[in-house]
Amino acid sequence: MNKDFDIAIIGAGPAGLSAAIYAARGGLKPVLFEKMIHGGQITLTDEIENYPGIPESINGFDLADRMKKQADKFDVATKMEDVNSIKEDGKMKLIETSADTYSVKAVIVATGAQPRKLDVPGEQNFTGRGVSYCATCDGPLYRDAVVAVIGGGDSAVEEALFLTKFAKKVYLIHRRDKLRAVKIVQDRAFANEKIEIIWDTVVEEFAGDLMLKRAKLLNRKTGEHTELEIDGAFIFVGFVPNNELLTDFADMDERGFVKVNGKMETRTAGIYSAGDLNEKVLRQVITAAADGAIAAFSAEKWIEENFE
Ligand SMILES: Cc1cc2nc3c(=O)[nH]c(=O)nc-3n(C[C@H](O)[C@H](O)[C@H](O)COP(=O)(O)OP(=O)(O)OC[C@H]3O[C@@H](n4cnc5c(N)ncnc54)[C@H](O)[C@@H]3O)c2cc1C
């Protein structure tokens, strides 16, 4: 049993990294757990141009590295371990990971979200063979190819624009007759000659042989079925919260996002939730970082009041 730390922070995305910086500067000894790569979802995007203080815009990996470097500067211990469960043990919380068990006074869960699947035939089968959820990772494989992006929000439209750097044609398939992305991004898409928007349409199936070859489409207004020849499909239709660790400790909305108060407190004392995992109106780096900072500040005060 490891008893070296005051507070566990689970997930090294923008929320977890910010929480770690604030906790360490607040005099706590934090341990930050990450199961994949520090940065979380920002490592999936090529360009972040709306984080204040970086007017020239920044690649997601670079921003993640800068946040990690800042946490390292304050001696945050980072463990590349998958957290399996949180348990209550008297006043303490036990964090069971793939490598060890940690006994801490408080926990901040910042496990984020993962891409929502379309749940159509062929999607799983062609994942990694034409179907992707990450344009930054896979976009360069589609030089001079024809690709489709599915979705109509910020991520979908921004990633469609990014893909025009490689692909010769990008279809943007959206189930409604209006995009949800912010206006500046929409205007760029409308002005880009490589992007063609297919409105009111959903993908019913992905088909091909060894590799993806086509998407079978349904126009929701006319009921017409068509087939679109494509080399790749990028799916950006929202996110599913990684909420498993909190099922016994927090209330959630109908989609599984965690309900917290203004201090990022869940219904369980000493357990906080921050970032994209939470019920909120805007899931971005700036709001995730803010949640992380607030959670660490609240946890610090709570530990002060409840221990020693
Ligand atoms: C394609 C794309 C483009 C985007 N573009 C922008 C943009 O331009 N500007 C902007 O502000 N935002 C953008 N976003 C949104 C932004 O990336 C997220 O809002 C932000 O990353 C949320 O941070 P988070 O820390 O809450 O969660 P995440 O970034 O999801 O990080 C959660 C971390 O927790 C880890 N984790 C999960 N479960 C466990 C476990 N059990 N044990 C250990 N670790 C675990 C995950 O591996 C992950 O690293 C974009 C998102 C995507 C997908």
Q: Residue ranges per domain, the chain?
A: 7-115+239-306, 123-235
Q: Is there a catalytic annotation at residue 231?
A: no
Establish whether residue 41 lines the binding site of ligand 1, counting it when its CB lies within 6 angstroms of any ligand atom: yes
CA of 11, closest atom in ligand 1: 34
Looking at residues 271-290, what average pLDDT do you find?
95
**Residue 15 pLDDT greater than 80, yes or no:** yes
Tokens of 18: 């910010």
* pLDDT over 70, % of the chain: 100
CATH class of 123-235: alpha beta
Q: Is there a catalytic annotation at residue 138?
A: yes
Residue with tokens 């950006």: 236
Strands 30-33 and 77-79: parallel
Q: Which residues contact 261 (CB under 8 A, 6 or more apart)?
A: none
**Residue 137 pLDDT greater than 90, yes or no:** no
Task: Quote the pLDDT of residue 306.
Answer: 96
Instruction: Tell me whether the CATH fold assigned to 7-115+239-306 matches the one assigned to 123-235.
Output: yes
**Residue 308 pLDDT greater than 80, yes or no:** no
Residue with tokens 């599984």: 256
Task: Quote the pLDDT of residue 213.
Answer: 98
CATH of domain 7-115+239-306: 3.50.50.60
**Residue 36 pLDDT greater than 90, yes or no:** yes
Mean model confidence pLDDT for the chain:
96
Task: Quote the pLDDT of residue 34.
Answer: 98
Q: Is there a catalytic annotation at residue 134?
A: yes
